[in-house]
Amino acid sequence: MIKNNKTGFAKYAILLGHLAAILTVIAWGSSFIATKVLMVDGGFTPVEVYAYRFALAYILLLAVTFKKLWANSWKEELNFLVCGVCAGSLYFITENYALKFTTTSNVSLLASISPIFTTILMAIVFKTKIKAGEIIGSIIAFIGVIFIIFSTGEGFEIKPKGDLLALSAALSWAIYTIVVKNLIPNYSSLFITRKLFFYGTLTSLPLLFAQTEPYHFELLWDFNNPQYMLNLLFLVAMCSVMAYLLWNETMKALGPVTANNYLYGQPLVTMIVAAIILDERITMMGYIGCVLIIGGLILSDKLKDAKRFIRK
């Protein structure tokens, strides 16, 4: 009876992990639209958007989790610093600046390589065996990403400076996934997320203060034109606080490799949200990409479960 209860609880936790992953990817996929409004319509710089977003998210979490401020050791505190840089300032700022030097298609495609980097790093660092099901599902989902990106009509044109920045963003996220894996068992998702926001904001301040362009902070208080504040609040509440909390729970329930495969769904969500909000047309290649991404994620999970069943 106890064994059955444990099995049932594990299946329930895995189901919640998949649900949390879907909600997170929906939030992150939608964030591109909100960021575009701030940067294109409002003139906010990439550093401004990131720094304002993470600073407000940190203040919000600090208000509810202020009793414990530091990690259990300086080594783990250093790991939190790495997480803040890799999943915060380095990831977002390099990705945003990559858009200045290469096409949106290039950035979307190269940033989607992060799950592949994660799988390889997991195998190297933790000596884990890369499962065939995860590889097959990942490849199919990645092909789906290619279909969605090229459905916009943009081709892939090699532009080294921007492409390397986009690849750096993908690699930095994979490094965050590896480092946070050791922190998840010892800390709550609230604590991990708050520390990530703290160091992410702290390491972005030198770039913010060095900015030569005028700041656009006053636009956030223009109540005659509230779109900028509303979009920033969406990035803070939904895409930062909620999404990162859910993502840490997702990695706890599903493991880093399976969780990161869900990142292939971000271009899919962006395409759908852009069609609804910006009235952008979805082409046949876009629909094919949707099917491939969803099919790849399902196949990866089913093949993994099948191997687990065979071993039993």
- The total domain count for the chain is 1
pLDDT in tens, 136-158: 877 888 888 778 767 666 555 66
Contact partners, residue 65, CB within 8 Å, separation at least 6: 190, 191, 194
pLDDT in tens, 89-125: 999 888 877 877 776 656 766 777 788 888 888 888 8
Q: Is the pLDDT of residue 4 over 60?
A: no
Q: Is the pLDDT of residue 306 over 80?
A: no
Q: What is the overall mean pLDDT for the chain?
A: 83
Distance between CA atoms of 40 and 206, rounded to whole angstroms?
23
**Could you tell me if residue 20 is inside a domain?**
no
pLDDT in tens, 36-63: 888 888 889 889 999 999 999 999 999 9
**Could you tell me if residue 213 is inside a domain?**
yes
Q: Bigger pLDDT: 69 or 55?
A: 55
Q: What per-residue confidence (pLDDT) applies to 146?
A: 78
Domain that holds residue 106: 25-311
Distance between CA atoms of 26 and 30, rounded to whole angstroms?
6
Distance between CA atoms of 225 and 48, rounded to whole angstroms?
19
**Could you tell me if residue 63 is inside a domain?**
yes
**Could you tell me if residue 217 is inside a domain?**
yes
Distance between CA atoms of 202 and 266, rounded to whole angstroms?
27
**Could you tell me if residue 162 is inside a domain?**
yes
**Could you tell me if residue 17 is inside a domain?**
no
Question: In angstroms, how far apart are the furthest CA atoms of the chain?
Answer: 66
pLDDT category of residue 309 using cuts at 50, 70 and 90: very low
User: Considering Cα of 74, then 79, then 83, then 89, what sign does the dihedral take?
Assistant: positive
**Could you tell me if residue 218 is inside a domain?**
yes
pTM value? 0.83
- In this prediction, what percent of the chain has a pLDDT beyond 70? 87
**Could you tell me if residue 256 is inside a domain?**
yes
